[in-house]
Structure 1
């Protein structure tokens, strides 16, 4: 059965800010390549999301902007509602708010914030979601966002986060990876990922058709020799799997632009995932795929 009901949408996760001129140029370039959303992750050691997002919105015309995703432990509902509403005002209503539990133990330690158990971090995420959505919806809260509802993206892989996302988020973000105790990530196999998608869609119940489903792609390589590239990456990352198993990982796109486009059409048809995010170093590789998928939707 085909689940392809939404048009494709494309985001790029930006990993660095250097000079203002460079940041302005890169934001405009992302827009020119056809991406829909400019995103900034929330990790120590890289730029703060909100100032970078506000600046990117100021020099672009249609790009939506958002954190991908904020560590809920690094903020609280009152501060988050203020930040999101302010940037929504400055961008004329182009903010999308991404939230997650945070998972890198060393970053919590560097920030002087206790690295709670996974369950307690999910509890805190739930409290943050409830608080910030209530404040942003309150007509008495100032500043007021431009959008009647700032779209909420919740990202993760575990049962509780995916259930929370399915019940409350406008966008459900799949990581296609499981997180170790100290924040190391292990990619999911195709079968394990399919199970995670099925779990989240079942948890959504009658909301399933109103949700936008997102996946972060970890590798994008346009090539005519995908097996060779897979072998090189297996050696580089030290993973134990065959080249075909590596190519079957849902968050990895290796092949010709046409083959990658076909792969993503099939992904949408089987999972409902229509919102695809890539990392900034991959945008030139991915741009031809955007053109092909726009053609599919036309």
Structure 2
């Protein structure tokens, strides 16, 4: 279905110290990950300064947001921050945007900004994409110091509902499919089908991403409660046992086979994983890098 090479990202948002944060970024780069992504919550580091620090501490690792809540910032603010970080990272920044995850309204309240209705949030997302695109003019410099035709960083849009998926299909470079952690592969396939329908002739231009909440050699190696259960909203072992696509269980060879199949059948070539599983997933990254 796709001839895209795999890309791998780590999603992380906190560390016990500045040094630990930079060490994690360097480790991700060393292990062959392509991107380190920071979420946008009041419980994690502020994305833009955290990513600026990482870009200064690494040489090849790309950095990105996963994802900015568009309702919590003005479009002009996002465009300004994007242009600044794109320059400071020497073209290694990718902008991830969304219309607001569940719970993002609490962040908006703490920031003192109106969260808005679902329709208003999607409109703010569209306005932000337009502002970022309009602010990128001319050429830009990449991490290998060469001019490229695309005058701005790649834009990733994360979504699950039809309005956001339609917008992503029409305007994004990368689409991150939003499905619940327990969603089976059939649900993931349905989202891809929706995206294909919305994108029409643009579908082959899109890079499709999916996130992994956890990986393990065996089902019993997954934490059954605690931080992971809170993150996914239930028992990870039950979700994984019933086919939840946010969990990959098996040997590195088995996991690589699963991801190849999903790329070949669904077109998903950009795989992100929770930073808690940075080391566990690295053998899979090594197997699939450059393929």
TM-score by length of 1: 0.85
| Aligned 8 A contact 1:86 1:145 in 2 | no
Tell me which moved more, 43-52 or 186-195. 186-195
Residue 44 (structure 1) aligned with residue 42 (structure 2): yes
Structure 2 counterpart of 1:253: 248
Map residues 231-270 of structure 1 onto 2, 5 A cutoff: 232=224, 239=234, 243=238, 246-270=241-265
Alignment of 1:166-205 (within 5 A): 166-177=169-180, 187-205=182-200
Distance 1:145 1:246, change over 3 A: farther
Q: Which residue of 2 aligns with 1:180?
A: none
User: What's the offset of the Cα at 1:247?
Assistant: 4.9
Match of 1:90 in 2: 88
1:14 to 3, 7, 12: 12
Whether the 8 Å contact between 2:72 and 2:115 is mirrored in structure 1 is no
CA drift at 1:79: 1.5
Q: Equivalent residue for 1:218?
A: 213
Structure 1 residues 145 and 73: alpha-carbon distance in aligned structure 2, compared to 1, 3 A threshold: farther
Q: Secondary structure at the match of 2:32?
A: coil
Do the aligned residues in 1 keep the contact of 2:82 with 2:132 (CA within 8 Å)? no
CA distance in 2: counterparts of 1:65 and 1:241, whole angstroms: 28
**SS at 1:96's partner residue?**
strand
8 Å Cα contact 1:230-1:246 kept in structure 2: no
**Stretch moving more, 8-17 or 145-154:** 145-154
The 3 A distance-change label for structure 1 pair 278 and 242 is closer
- How far the C-alpha of 1:127 sits from its partner, in A, is 1.4
- The reply to whether residue 99 of structure 1 matches residue 97 of structure 2 is yes
Please state whether the residue corresponding to 1:215 is helix, strand or coil: strand
The answer to whether structure 1 residue 56 and structure 2 residue 51 are counterparts is no
Q: 1:277 aligns with which of 257, 272, 279?
A: 272
Distance 1:229 1:191 in 2: 25
Partner of 2:43, secondary structure, is: coil
The match for 1:114 is 114
Aligned counterpart, 2:144: none
CA distance in 1, matches of 2:82, 2:269: 24
1:229–1:254 CA contact under 8 A, matched in 2: no
State yes or no: 1:162 paired with 2:160.
Answer: no
Structure 1 position 241, deviation (Å): 11
Q: Unpaired segments of 5 or more residues in structure 2? A: 142-147
Change (3 A) 1:241 1:152: closer
| Unpaired stretches in structure 1, ≥5 consecutive residues | 178-185
SS of 1:208 mapped into structure 2: helix
> Counterpart in 2 of 1:182?
none
> Could you tell me whether the CA contact under 8 Å between 1:217 and 1:253 is conserved in 2?
yes
CA distance in 1, matches of 2:48, 2:238: 39
Aligned to 1:181: none
Post-superposition shift, 1:82?
1.4
Partner of 1:183: none
**CA root-mean-square deviation:** 2.5
- 1:136: Cα distance to partner? 2.1
8 Å CA contact 1:230–1:243 kept in 2: the answer is no
Instruction: Tell me the TM-score normalised to structure 2 length.
Output: 0.87
- The equivalent of 1:65 in structure 2 is 63
Task: List per-residue Cα deviations over 1:40-88 (Å, max 9, x = no partner).
Answer: 1110121100111111011111111111111111212222111111111
**Contact 1:154–1:169 (CA under 8 A) maintained in structure 2:** yes
